[in-house]
Structure 1
Amino acid sequence: MASTDIGIDLGTASILVYVKGKGVVLNEPSVVAYDRDTDKIVEIGEEARLMLGRTPGNIVAIRPLRHGVISDYTTTEKMLKYFIRKAVGRNLFGRRPCISVCVPSGVTEVEKRAVETATYNAGARDVTIIEEPVAAAIGAGIDIMRPCGNLIVDIGGGTTDIAVISLGGTVVSSSIKVAGDDFDDAIIRFMKKRFNLLIGDRTAEEIKINIGTCYKRPENISMDVRGRNMVSGLPKTVTVASDDIEEALRETTGQIVEAIKGVLERTPPELAADISDRGVVLTGGGALLHGLEELIEEKTGITTMTAEDPMSAVAIGTGKYVEYFNGNV
């Protein structure tokens, strides 16, 4: 095949690019920094993420994707072009690649078309749009072509996609706009309320990764958090424990559990029996939150496990989708 086949996980928090034969070759934050005065893009990806909350007045660092859909079309197109070039090298326009892109299962036809057009404009020869849970299942190594039910929960940055998959298709699905970014927002709100401390998105993410949990840890670990005191306006450091973060995330993680229960309630009985045997599979960056497996297991009574590489599962599944279906049909 002359073209380079690419799978793109177009995420709210990060973009992963899978190249056939090479695996995931790029994993960068979906952040773009541009100069407001000249309207020129300054940085894209990791360099732009480091600028979040730290830019002078004329430079703005933004995320052009919100809740898994395009909120800033032009910037998304430029960002896609940049990442595709970075992944496949400079000879992109000599041979245009076939690109598969995944989108949350709840997006509208208009939103799908926006992704498709942006991908074509970024240099694709052919574009296939795939639903996130199907890609996640393939990437997690599940044989979705068999006639038995698999429950996939893909927790990204902007959306959580829950789907029951059987015979290569989605039987029941739900997409909610509660995910990793909402965990960060919940931590920011909690720090304001409990400690009168103002912190940024990056600090909230550090707390989530280091001591975040949604299920009581065996030992209560803590870390020092720096921010701005809302009363005095001066820098301040406080010590936060994992039990505090469990409390902060209770409502947000509760919404994800309720959405999983909602999908299970709508699942046909035969497939529900399969899921009860096979368990729930978690993918996406949000699946790395400590205690999520235990929480879902406790609330649903179904064994829950996280995919081997939850962060890359969707990108791998997106890249393998076309050959997977061609090989199985």
Structure 2
Amino acid sequence: MSEKKLNYEYCDKLVRDFEEVVKQPIVSKSSVYYTGVDLGTACVVLAVLDENYKPVAGAYRYADVVRDGMVVDYIGAIKIVRELKQELEEKLGAELIYGAAAIPPGTDALDSGAVKNVVQAAGFELTNLLDEPTAANKALKIQNGAVVDIGGGTTGISILKNGKVVYIADEPTGGTHFSLVVSGAYRMSFQEAEIYKRDSKNHKELLPVLKPVIEKIASIINQHIKDHDVDEISLVGGTCCLTGIEEIIEKKTGIFTHKPKNPMFVTPLGIALSCTKEIIE
């Protein structure tokens, strides 16, 4: 079995296991819990791993506290993270102390302080803060290629060589733009469009409508990888849940494009895998 195939199986199993514990947490006597906090534009996700870095619990909530990768509702973000933390602590019968978080690539000077403060104000000891595509690769385990994290507001790109990140970029285009197109095409409110596009039953019908935006994302990817030897693209982020998005991107880039099972959960799981007991100031 190829190394790539094994990596895909590892990531897909991790996501499958996480989906199960979101529904039914595993209450065990772990000596420590590691939590990944993903403050997404459309959704806030908490992923909890045990001492062996195995999924034991998780929760998520659709929210509007982040826009284009930036925290715009600081108090609201703290409230949601705190509530999800308390909900999971009650289910596990244990305190969640250590947390890690991530930010869009290249935004550390702008927003890393806000994300850090949200996580700490919600009651976590922050142990790691990394960029989103790099975090996702903790679950994907790509050695050579590009990780493309298509979130609500932005598309983040990390290029890896021999397992090390050699280039990162972030561009404004993502799921928000999908919703705006759906809203205009179907004459529905933005919020209605958000809900409509999340329903997989609508994806086949929506794909041709959204194709121009997907092709724009593909052109952004092309622009950033053109000076690098990239032979594989992995898509993560909630926007990638759109059925068929990977086929359009592969066709436009001419590069093999892989989408893991439920790409919305890959980054939060990667963040949790990056969590330690070493508190950062």
TM-score bracket for the superposition, by shorter chain length: 0.7 to 0.9
Match of 1:299 among 252, 256, 259: 252
SS at the partner of 2:107? coil
How high is the TM-score relative to the length of structure 2? 0.77
Q: Distance in 1 between matches of 2:275 and 2:76?
A: 28
SS at the partner of 1:133? helix
Q: Distance in 2 between matches of 1:137 and 1:280?
A: 11
How high is the TM-score relative to the length of structure 1? 0.66
Q: Which amino acid aligns with 1:124?
A: F
Q: Distance in 2 between matches of 1:107 and 1:175?
A: 8
Q: Corresponding residue for 1:154? A: 149
- Count of aligned positions: 243
SS at the partner of 2:271? helix
1:117-169 CA deviation, whole Å, 9 max, x = no partner?
121111112331111101111222x1x5xxx5221111122222111023554
Q: Corresponding residue for 2:55? A: 23
Structure 2 CA distance for partners of 1:261 and 1:24, relative to 1, 3 Å: farther
Structure 2 CA distance for partners of 1:24 and 1:265, relative to 1, 3 Å: farther
Match of 2:213 among 252, 255, 262: 252
Q: Corresponding residue for 2:203? A: 212
Say if 2:201 is the partner of 1:181.
no
The answer on whether the counterparts of 1:24 and 1:315 sit within 8 Å (CA) in structure 2 is no
The answer on whether the counterparts of 1:155 and 1:180 sit within 8 Å (CA) in structure 2 is yes
The answer on whether the counterparts of 2:39 and 2:45 sit within 8 Å (CA) in structure 1 is yes
Structure 2 CA distance for partners of 1:301 and 1:76, relative to 1, 3 Å: same
Q: Corresponding residue for 1:74? A: 75
Say if 2:81 is the partner of 1:84.
no
Q: Distance in 2 between matches of 1:71 and 1:168?
A: 33
The answer on whether the counterparts of 1:6 and 1:99 sit within 8 Å (CA) in structure 2 is yes
Q: Corresponding residue for 1:126? A: 126
Q: CA deviation at 1:203?
A: 4.3
Structure 2 CA distance for partners of 1:307 and 1:98, relative to 1, 3 Å: same
Question: Where does the alignment leave 5 or more consecutive residues of structure 2 unmatched?
Answer: 1-29, 277-281
1:66-114 CA deviation, whole Å, 9 max, x = no partner?
122200111211221111111223899x956111011111314241011
The structure carrying a bigger helix percent of its residues is 2
Q: Corresponding residue for 1:202? A: 192
SS at the partner of 1:311? helix
Q: Distance in 2 between matches of 1:167 and 1:79?
A: 37
Match of 1:265 among 226, 229, 235: 226
Say if 2:271 is the partner of 1:318.
yes
Match of 1:282 among 225, 228, 235: 235
Runs of 4+ more than 6 Å apart: none
Structure 2 CA distance for partners of 1:290 and 1:65, relative to 1, 3 Å: same
Match of 1:7 among 21, 24, 36: 36
Q: CA deviation at 1:313?
A: 0.8
Q: Which amino acid aligns with 1:259?
A: I
The answer on whether the counterparts of 2:219 and 2:252 sit within 8 Å (CA) in structure 1 is no
The answer on whether the counterparts of 2:207 and 2:244 sit within 8 Å (CA) in structure 1 is no
Structure 2 CA distance for partners of 1:254 and 1:100, relative to 1, 3 Å: same
Structure 2 CA distance for partners of 1:90 and 1:311, relative to 1, 3 Å: closer
- Higher-RCO chain (CA-CA 8 Å, sequence separation at least 6): 2
Q: Which amino acid aligns with 2:66?
A: L
Structure 2 CA distance for partners of 1:72 and 1:204, relative to 1, 3 Å: closer
Q: Distance in 2 between matches of 1:310 and 1:114?
A: 25
**Higher Rg:** 1
Question: Where does the alignment leave 5 or more consecutive residues of structure 1 unmatched?
Answer: 32-62, 192-196, 214-241, 324-329
Q: Corresponding residue for 2:20? A: none
Q: Which amino acid aligns with 1:86?
A: E
1:110-125 equivalences under 5 Å are 110-125=110-125
1:32-51 equivalences under 5 Å are none
Q: Distance in 2 between matches of 1:96 and 1:23?
A: 14
